[in-house]
Amino acid sequence: MREIGTFRDEEQAKTFSDLLLVKEIGNKILDDGDGEWSVWVHDEEKMEDAGNLLKEFRDNPDNPVYKKSSKKADEIRFEEEQEEKRYQKKVKASQFQWRYTTYQGIGRVTMVMIVISVAVAIISGLGSNKTMISGLFITDFRVSGNMIQWRPGLPNIFSGEIWRLITPMFIHFGIMHILFNMLWLKDLGSQIEFKQSSKFFVILVVVLAAGSNVAQYVVSGPNFGGMSGVVYGLLGYIWMRGKHDPASGLFLERNIVIFMIVWFFICLTGLVGNIANTAHGAGLLIGMAWGYISAINAKNLRRL
């Protein structure tokens, strides 16, 4: 935003502001004190057009044409106010619908993910029997004493076992590990399914799982698992999409954001055991980036 000019007369400043608005040049009037008012143009690319209009206006500020512009500007502002009211009504209705839906059920894909995770937890004894679920880890490895041995370069995946990029998300170690992940998955996953689509949710989960799992493997090797990378990715996506595009209907309760961020940093301390912190961070960053880009694209499309 840049200043285009100042006026000693407040009415002239308002009239010129109206003229700019009618010409589709967004602007704002500021009271500078000492009896002066400045007009600021929002879009710097329109400064040249605004400058030409200012020159014409100063040459003949009493031109009757400008009175007509003021009337037209009032109509534009009224329509913008009505549009904003409709927009806010849509956002509130969308949020209410999500709250209602949350109490009514769980997304289909979300439910399938929960069922698979619980089944894997039961079969593996919460990850204690790694032999039963060896095909779900990102790559094969062998435990020898306190040492873990594996062939570098993800050979299983490059030999065709592509599913290993995402299946570590179904492995959990301990009751609290799976309980927290499933509760967050239920809320965050269902919201995206209901507000966007199950198909989009599947794509998002695959990308988040693959990205966070590969990041964790690079840092610590293949002995890890959990839905946390995906869950934090969903958090980041909803957070950014809802913040920058409220019309999407996606939103987070403030206490959920605070709790998950606090938990993120508690995990970093190591007080809660060996946690896949890299997966948490990678998932969160991927989700936030995707949510922000999606929000900007959605708003641009609505302007067309």
DSSP 11-37: HHHHHHHHHHHHTT--EEEEEEETTEE
pLDDT at 303 (0 to 100)? 61
Alpha carbon distance 22, 114 (integer Å) = 55
> Does CATH number 3.30.70.1530 belong to domain 2-73?
yes
Confidence of residue 283 (pLDDT cuts 50, 70, 90): very high
- Sketch the domain layout of the chain as residue ranges: 2-73, 105-303
More confident of the two residues 97 and 45: 45
Cβ-based neighbours of 260, under 8 Å, separated by 6 or more = 184, 232, 235
Confidence of residue 87 (pLDDT cuts 50, 70, 90): low
pLDDT at 100 (0 to 100)? 47
pLDDT at 44 (0 to 100)? 81
Tokens at residue 195, please? 């507000």
Q: Is the pLDDT of residue 273 over 60?
A: no
Confidence of residue 104 (pLDDT cuts 50, 70, 90): low
The alpha carbon of residue 221 and the mean position of all alpha carbons in its chain are separated, in whole angstroms, by 29
Alpha carbon distance 172, 124 (integer Å) = 9
Confidence of residue 253 (pLDDT cuts 50, 70, 90): confident
Confirm if 223 and 150 have CB atoms less than 8 A apart: no
What's the farthest any 2 CA atoms get from each other in the chain?
91
Give the three-class secondary structure for 124.
Answer: coil
Residue with tokens 């700019």: 20
Domain 105-303 sits in CATH at 1.20.1540.10
pLDDT at 13 (0 to 100)? 92
Confidence of residue 170 (pLDDT cuts 50, 70, 90): very high
Q: Is the pLDDT of residue 27 over 80?
A: yes
